[in-house]
Amino acid sequence: MQADKLKKYRPYPTVPLKDRTWPDNTITEAPLWCSVDLRDGNQALRQPMNLEQKLEMFQLLVDIGFKEIEVGFPAASKVEFDFLRLLIEDNLIPEDVTVQVLTQAREHLIRKSFAALQGVRKGIVHLYNSTSTLQRQVVFKMDRKEIIQLGVQGAQVIREEAERFDGDIRYEYSPESFTGTELDFALEICEEVMGVWEPTPERPVVVNLPATVEMATANIYADQIEWFIRQMKNRDCALISLHAHNDRGSAVAATELALMAGADRVEGTLFGNGERTGNVDIITLALNMFSQGVDPKLDFSNVNRVVNVYKRCTDLPVHPRHPYVGDLVYTAFSGSHQDAISKGMDAVADDASGVWAVPYLPIDPKDVGRTYESIICINSQSGKGGAAYIMDRQFGYKLPKSMQPGFGRVVQEKTENIGKELSSKAVYTVFEREYLQEEGYFRLKEFNVLKRHIDQQEDMSTADVEAVLFVNGQEQRLRGTGNGPLDAMCAVLNDQAELYFVLHSYDEHSLTEGASSRAVTYIELMDKREKGSREGWWGAGVDTDIIVSSIKALLSAVNRMHAGR
């Protein structure tokens, strides 16, 4: 940045709080939550939601578990007014949900808000007026006393309306732009408003302290909240509420630290939708708590539904890297990450404690309705572990460790050739083409075990086998003897097909359960002509007969060795 531009800006003042306590605290329980998606979130949209979209969003918020929902500013527009009337008249507000309405400290707006609330069982009237130093000086041209008078007059009208209202009305006050307001003045005006409403511990008011514009680091917001709570009178008669915006990109952190400082309640939106850079993201806040073993009291076990409804109602995208809910947040492309995740998943599966501890995955994707299918995806940056993980978790093939590098190279070559990510199905297709297709220089037509010889005294056995192969397209009938069918087939190929290999590794497992289960066999051959080779030629075979699957795997390895793959 140009040095002369810096002269335009001044550092935000710190809070004189030398004995602050919040840094030693932790979040051990969820706050009270209030969604402002239908008000803060809605007013920030290029095209505000229509009634149908508002209804769908309201139902989503109810299903997630919000007990307080700010449904709009009914005195500001007909759509806002009509929406609240629809909720009330069609009895769409559950008994345990309180709807909240926003109003400025102006008498006619307050009275219209109460008209919109007629018939509601439980409501919160949220009064605000701007208190910031800058707005007092530049926008309103008013001093502190005049600003306080505005807030007090608004509070008096609200109390007057509430006392004759046939329903349960609670009060909320926001000194708008709290973070731009001198702390002593913010405290003064809040206490003056509380003095009008006369709250009790049994019926506290909500004192909402918004970072309407995020102006400083998260720790300063926490200091402001702790200072305010310490200084205010009748603390037990107020619920301290947070309403953070994200201008500096730290609304989540600021809210978490402010909760540690003693706040009781949080207002925010799904995905942080809101003016400028948005409001605090309640999904991230809630799942951050969840990841620490704290019940957030909100249900995000089906984030796919939340994403779909949000997109449909707001016409906004969700970034693929959005914490916890983005399409790619549980996906690893890096080879080292894939290897660590794969090992972590295996360790969790073997751990009877049930504790989640997987590298790179702070929560189990299944807990938010995601599957393991997308944890590892394959592109040119992926390593051997990723492809092996997909083959194991999605298709049941547990590739031997020393087989994985070779398969990884085959997959990487494919991704580099096509220049994009490989789907799980495409990874399997690569494996099938490379190892399982019964094509190549040597092809099996028939295989029979002619005779088994068991010598009980010598504790050994031999087998006579016959195989009909297509060798470079020509049918040949070959016979041989070995310690078992596989050893006999190795001898046949070495002696009669003039190959030069030794069987180095053998592994097998069942692919499916039951009497008709299929077996998969993996075989590694070392070429005798390649002196000092540390990696052999792997093949794989699948069949319901374990002997046949091993012969298929042997020919798979022989064909790959013959082709130099």
Show the 3-state SS of 15-36. Answer: CCCCCCCHHHCCCCCCCEEEEC
**Structural domain spans, the chain:** 28-314, 335-436, 442-563
129 is in an annotated binding site: no
- Number of C-beta neighbours around residue 202 at 10 A: 7
pLDDT value at position 376? 54
| Mode of pairing for the β-strands spanning 474-482 and 122-130 | unpaired
What tokens does 301 get? 């076990």
- Distance separating alpha carbons of residues 98 and 66, to the nearest angstrom: 9
**Residue 245 is labelled as binding a ligand:** yes
pTM score, two decimals?
Answer: 0.77
Bin 369: left if φ > 0, else alpha if -120 < ψ < 50, else beta. left
CB 415 within 8 A of CB 387: no
* DSSP letter for each residue of 454-496: EETTTTEEEEEEEEEEEETTEEEEEEEEESSHHHHHHHHHHHH
Q: Which CATH class is domain 442-563?
A: alpha beta
User: Do 538 and 560 contact (CB within 8 A), yes or no?
Assistant: yes
Fold matches, 28-314 and 442-563:
no
Tell me what pLDDT residue 1 has: 78
Q: Which tokens sit at 291?
A: 């990841």
Residues 6+ positions from 126 with CB-CB distance below 8 Å: 70, 100, 101, 102, 103, 172, 173, 174, 206, 208
Per the CB < 8 A criterion, the answer to whether 252 and 285 are in contact is yes
Return the pLDDT at 458: 56
The overall longest dimension of the chain from CA atoms, in Å, is 109
Residue with tokens 């094509």: 439
Please tell me what DSSP assigns to residue 423.
P
Tokens of 143: 């001093």
Q: Please give the chain's pLDDT, 565 residues, in tens.
A: 788 888 888 899 999 998 999 999 999 999 999 999 999 999 999 999 999 999 999 999 999 999 999 999 999 999 999 999 999 999 999 999 999 999 999 999 999 999 999 999 999 999 999 999 888 988 888 899 999 999 999 999 999 999 999 999 999 999 999 999 999 999 999 999 999 999 999 999 999 999 999 999 999 999 999 999 999 999 999 999 999 999 999 999 999 999 999 999 999 999 999 999 999 999 999 999 999 999 999 999 999 999 999 999 999 999 999 999 998 888 766 667 777 887 888 899 888 899 999 998 999 999 999 875 566 556 555 555 678 888 888 899 999 988 998 998 888 888 888 777 778 888 899 999 999 987 888 899 999 988 877 665 555 678 889 989 898 889 989 898 888 899 999 988 988 777 889 999 999 999 876 666 899 999 999 987 776 666 789 999 999 999 999 999 999 999 998 887 5
Q: In this predicted structure, what is the pLDDT of residue 131?
A: 94
Give pLDDT, residue 111: 97
Half-sphere exposure of 199 (CA within 13 A, CB side): 25
Q: Which two tokens stand for residue 17?
A: 């709080």
Instruction: Judge: domain 28-314, CATH 3.20.20.70.
Output: yes
- The reply, when asked if residue 279 is annotated as ligand binding, is yes
* Concatenated DSSP letters of 152-185: HHHHHHHHHHHHT-SSEEEEEEEEESGGGS-HHH
Q: Is 337 annotated as a binding residue?
A: no
- Taking the C-alpha atoms of residue 28 and residue 289, their distance in angstroms, rounded to an integer, is 8
**Residue 257 CB partners (closer than 8 Å, separation 6+):** 22, 218, 219, 221, 222
Burial class of residue 193 in the structure, from the number of CB atoms within 10 Å of its CB (0-12 exposed, 13-18 middle, 19+ buried)? buried
The β-bridge partners of 482 are: 463
Residues 6+ apart with CB under 8 A from 251: 211, 214, 244, 245, 268, 272, 278, 279, 280, 281
Cβ 275 vs Cβ 269: under 8 Å: no
State how far the Cα of 398 lies from the Cα of 182, in Å rounded to an integer: 64
